[in-house]
A and B are shown apart, each in its own frame.
Chain A
Amino acid sequence: MSSSLEKNMLILRSSDGEEFIVPEVVAVMSKAIKNMVEDECASNTIPVPNVDANILAMVIEFCKKHDESEAEAASDLKTFDSEFVNRGQEALYDLITAANFRDVKELLDALCQNVAEMIKGKSVHHIRIQFLGYQLFEILTSNFIWNIWCDRDFD
């Protein structure tokens, strides 16, 4: 470990080369990183491929808050979570991918809950446009029979 680095600190390097110095306790909230540290296959710098600096910063912010506020009231953390995940769809999906890939359970839970809140109460049409908009062409053609079947009333 390099001398300039305090004890129990790790460097995470994002896909675009930016480096973040993070306490080990925070970094190991990611199960993937935890496994690497435990297996001692991690050098002082841990590469985090597939996650760019912007998203990595957000993930670290989330993990830091959760690490610090262990003793804090659960309601405070909940407010933080709901504000944290309240982002545009693009960032949300990037965050989900990052959280899934790095296996950060708390973050993944909060994000999935947020997407679920977005879907809650929406119509079939709306969900398709919002979440599967890119599939419109496919829905119009190969899913034609599917759509007829779907016209059945479920309520």
Chain B
Amino acid sequence: MMNQIIWKKKKQYTPEKLPTQIIVEILSRLPIKTLFHCLLVCKDWFFSISDPYFAKLHLSRSPISLLIKPIYRNHPESTQLRSIDLQCETQLKFSSKINFPILEHQTVTSCNGLLCLSCISNPIYVCNPILGEYITLPISTYDGKQPHRTITAFGFSPLTNQYKVIQFFVYRVFDPINQAKAMIYTIGEGSWRDIGIVPYYLINRSVNSFVNGALHWLTFTQNSPDFIRCFDFGSEQFRVVPEPPECGLPRKNFMGFVRVGVLRDSLSISDFSNPFHWDIWIMKDYGIKESWSKEFVIGNVTGMRGYGDYYETIMILKNGEILMLVNKGVLVLYSPKEGRVEKLNIDGININPAFYGTAHMPSFVSLKDVAKGESLKKLSR
């Protein structure tokens, strides 16, 4: 019976005529969960999906997911990461020893679907949790001295197609003048490179501030006119990005309420410092001060929580709603049309009252292509 139906279909449709290029076009629009099924459909699809070109295409089309890590260490789920696709509210769970080697109290940073797990005592791992591949970076020590603090950032240089890890070493001595030393590790090169004393170092991490090949952060130093700083992973230079017109030096007192982020693939500044209205700025042409435009003014919102809550904007959904993270634990959706804020309930999130969030795009970017020459390990499933 089944065979009859199938053979009838053969006469009706002619999908075998579709060229591989079209199949790739179609598959690149699918979410990761369905792609796992597609991998198993036939050999042609498997090889299409395993291709580095597919990984790149898929990445360019996939929406931002939010990767969350519980803050409490003794929680049963503290060694698990969840990646939530906010457009269709599906989630992927990543566990220790299945998706990545070990997860304790490391900081997790993400770029193009690859995760960098780092902390002061363990070695740094770079992994793709989807493919279960990882590499271990050699331990870096600057001058052999124990630094006061280390901060690690992970990024990608689109021009050279290289992934890099930068580690800042902050020593107590340098604190009054705000200086740090840094080392860079290019994935695939196999050793750390010393770049000496750096003009700026990363202080506060935002959920998603990697755009145009550079990682952005804000500085709160009172007298410095530099407000938005960034590290360009391509040129390995530190730069200052011009700030929106109303966010300059006179308003530095309120900087604790201002966030840097990426909205609609552009650098954005969300100003939550005014108790009556919030402003969201988007820099339409990267690096050009005049292109800052005030895209949203959010005022008189019903359902808005009290003043002093820690808000971060994550992304603008397809329907125009703005997704925000409140106090690192609650996801809310703001609808500009209806002018109200609604709490977003996603299965399993309420179990963990507090989490770190970072933007993450699950991808098929393989360390086999990225980290040529490194000793790649694969976790058995």
A residues in contact (CB < 8 Å) with B: 89-90, 93, 96-97, 100, 108, 112-113, 115-116, 119-124, 127-129, 131-136, 139, 143, 146, 150, 152-155
Contact = CB atoms under 8 A, between A and B. Distances in A.
Most interface-central of B12, B25, B41, B43 (chain A CB within 10 A): B41
A100 B19 contact: yes
Contacts of B5: 133
B16 interface: yes
Given A119-B34, A155-B36, A134 B9 contact: yes
Nearest to A120: B34
A59 to B, nearest CB: 16
A121 B18 contact: no
A93 B34 CA distance: 21
B379 interface: no
Secondary structure class of chain A's binding surface, majority of residues? helix
A119 B25 CA distance: 13
Contact of B30 (A93, A119, A135): A119
Nearest to B10: A134
Contacts of B25: 108, 112
Contacts of A112: 22, 25-26, 29
A152 B36 CA distance: 11
A153 B3 CA distance: 27
A136 B17 CA distance: 16
B73 interface: no
Given A127-B37, A133-B9, A116 B30 contact: yes
Contacts, number: 86
Interface residues of B, number: 33
Contacts of B29: 112-113, 116
Contacts of B19: 100
Contacts of A133: 5-6, 9-10, 13
A128 B30 contact: no
A124 B36 CA distance: 9
Contacts of A152: 381
A96 B42 contact: no
Interface in B16-69: 16-19, 21-22, 25-27, 29-31, 33-34, 36-43
A128 B318 CA distance: 30
A97 B18 contact: yes
A143 B46 CA distance: 12
Contacts of A116: 26-27, 29-30
B260 to A, nearest CB: 28
Looking at B9, B14, B33, B40, the one whose CB has the most chain A CB atoms below 10 A away is: B40
Interface string B115-130: 0000000000000000
20 contacts: A89-B12, A89-B13, A89-B15, A93-B14, A97-B18, A100-B19, A112-B22, A112-B26, A119-B26, A119-B38, A124-B40, A127-B41, A129-B6, A134-B7, A134-B15, A136-B3, A143-B43, A146-B43, A154-B36, A155-B36
A75 to B, nearest CB: 10
